[in-house]
A and B are shown apart, each in its own frame.
Chain A
Amino acid sequence: EAGVAQSPRYKIIEKRQSVAFWCNPISGHATLYWYQQILGQGPKLLIQFQNNGVVDDSQLPKDRFSAERLKGVDSTLKIQPAKLEDSAVYLCASSLDRTGRMSYEQYFGPGTRLTVT
């Protein structure tokens, strides 16, 4: 079974530029998550999708971050404009959650390491 795919793996941009990350979840997984992990810290949930609907985006800085999951499969996370404090690893994860029962066995991709200079 293929895992969660993310691209790019690394990105370096200057502050005030924009950047986009892409995620392809495991086939059949209805729930998709984007996390931000700052060096030395645990992951922080930014947004959670159930199919193509947003379940939780309470920790997403909506003035600069946006995310979409068209057709309930792939997802993109965008930052515009980027700030120095956005330097982090951005992780995408997916889980089954098709029946409405909560499944916290999340499968993570390798992440995208963003450096904002």
Chain B
Amino acid sequence: DAKTTQPTSMDCAEGRAANLPCNHSTISGNEYVYWYRQIHSQGPQYIIHGLKNNETNEMASLIITEDRKSSTLILPHATLRDTAVYYCIVRDRSLPWAGNNRKLIWGLGTSLAVNP
């Protein structure tokens, strides 16, 4: 199974960009990288996902290296409400390609603290 490695914790000043790295050196060519976050006492929230190209939405940008072995989630202007645990996830490839039974493998994530 592809695994991800993330820093345990990070700090960021309010209003600055938060850059959260993720290593997924064993990812295969057809696996997506997904990012979720979990604010304290809430359920996880989907942020963004990508395969090869950089992606941007209203919440964040995802930068994937050309060799796809790592990626960075960028929150361009972090606010206090962005304080959360951020999970970088790749899809379980141990099951057959067809069907919906390829679950996400969640690691420990990065605890991001946005400071005033």
Contact = CB atoms under 8 A, between A and B. Distances in A.
B106 A104 contact: no
Contacts of A108: 42-45
Contact of B104 (A97, A104, A107, A109): A104
Contacts of A41: 108
Given A42-B107, A42-B109, A104-B49, A4 B43 contact: yes
Contacts of A55: 99-101
Nearest to A56: B101
A91 interface: yes
A62 interface: no
B108 A50 contact: no
Contacts of B102: 102
Interface of A is mostly: loop
Contacts of A42: 87, 106-109
Contacts of A93: 43-44
A13 interface: no
A8 B103 CA distance: 26
A99 B81 CA distance: 35
A55 B107 CA distance: 22
Nearest to A107: B46
A71 B104 CA distance: 25
A20 to B, nearest CB: 19
Given A42-B108, A104-B32, A104-B34, A50 B100 contact: yes
Given A91-B43, A104-B34, A105-B46, A45 B100 contact: no
B35 to A, nearest CB: 11
A114 B87 CA distance: 23
Interface string B72-104: 000000000000000100010000000111111
Nearest to A4: B43
Given A42-B108, A43-B106, A44-B106, A106 B101 contact: no
Interface of B: 32, 34, 41-46, 49, 87, 91, 99-104, 106-109
